[in-house]
Amino acid sequence: MDIETSSESGDKKLNNVVAITIVLLSVFTAIMGIKSGNTAQGIEQTKADVVNKWNQYQAARLKHDIAEGSANTERLIAAVPGVDKAVVEAEAKKTQATIERFTASEKRYFDEAKALTAKLEGLNKRDDQYDVAEAILSIAIAVSAIAILAELWVVLFVGWGFGAFGMTLGAAAMRGADIYPQWLVEVFT
């Protein structure tokens, strides 16, 4: 089977339109790839930040528990006969201030970790949008190229349909819009 490659083969207008279509889809896919890479970097940084904040929360919680243990010890020492109660009360006030400081730190770290976790979920969702858009655009490029071999405009129109859908998903991901076809995410990722 021979494939004609001369300029006389097929519909030259179809060939030109397919070439333009493939260039436009490829350029959009390349730009989207850059944005997707930036999102991936953001995901990695946010993951590190989430782990850091949870570690800070756990450290504050542990210090809080140690301070609570100190407070219990101070109460026991205060019950011992002959102990200077003023010294024990002064230490108990310091310990209580420490407990309050760690309680505030725990709350702050907990809230920051939750906010970063929500940010991470949003970035993961956007990354999925990029992945689906890239897959759809790859299909659009392939179908559009097949239009030359098939010499059928209808095949190009199908490619345009995939291209429009892929570009819509990609543009939504770049803008942070919430167009998220979950069933496609499950198919492609």
- What's the alpha-carbon Rg for the chain, to the nearest Å? 31
Angle at 137 between CA 165 and CA 145, to 5 degrees: 115
What is the pLDDT, as a whole number, of residue 129? 92
Domain span holding position 163 = 12-188
Measured CA to CA, the distance from residue 110 to residue 98 in angstroms comes to 18
In-domain check, residue 112 = yes
What is the pLDDT, as a whole number, of residue 70? 86
Whole-model pTM?
0.74
In-domain check, residue 43 = yes
**Count of domains forming the chain:** 1
What is the pLDDT, as a whole number, of residue 9? 53
Q: Which of 74, 181, 78 is nearest to 135 (CA)?
A: 181
What is the pLDDT, as a whole number, of residue 141? 97
In-domain check, residue 78 = yes
What is the pLDDT, as a whole number, of residue 76? 81
What is the pLDDT, as a whole number, of residue 8? 53
What is the pLDDT, as a whole number, of residue 121? 94
What is the pLDDT, as a whole number, of residue 166? 95
What is the pLDDT, as a whole number, of residue 1? 47
In-domain check, residue 7 = no
In-domain check, residue 2 = no
In-domain check, residue 5 = no
| Residues sharing a CB contact under 8 Å with residue 53, sequence separation 6 or more, in sequence order | 109, 112, 113, 116
What is the pLDDT, as a whole number, of residue 2? 53
The CATH number that applies at residue 138 is 1.10.287
pLDDT beneath 70, residues of the chain: 1-10, 189
In-domain check, residue 151 = yes
- CB-side exposure of 41: number of CA atoms within 13 Å? 6
**What ranges in the chain are assigned the alpha helix state H?**
12-78, 85-150, 153-175, 182-188
In-domain check, residue 6 = no
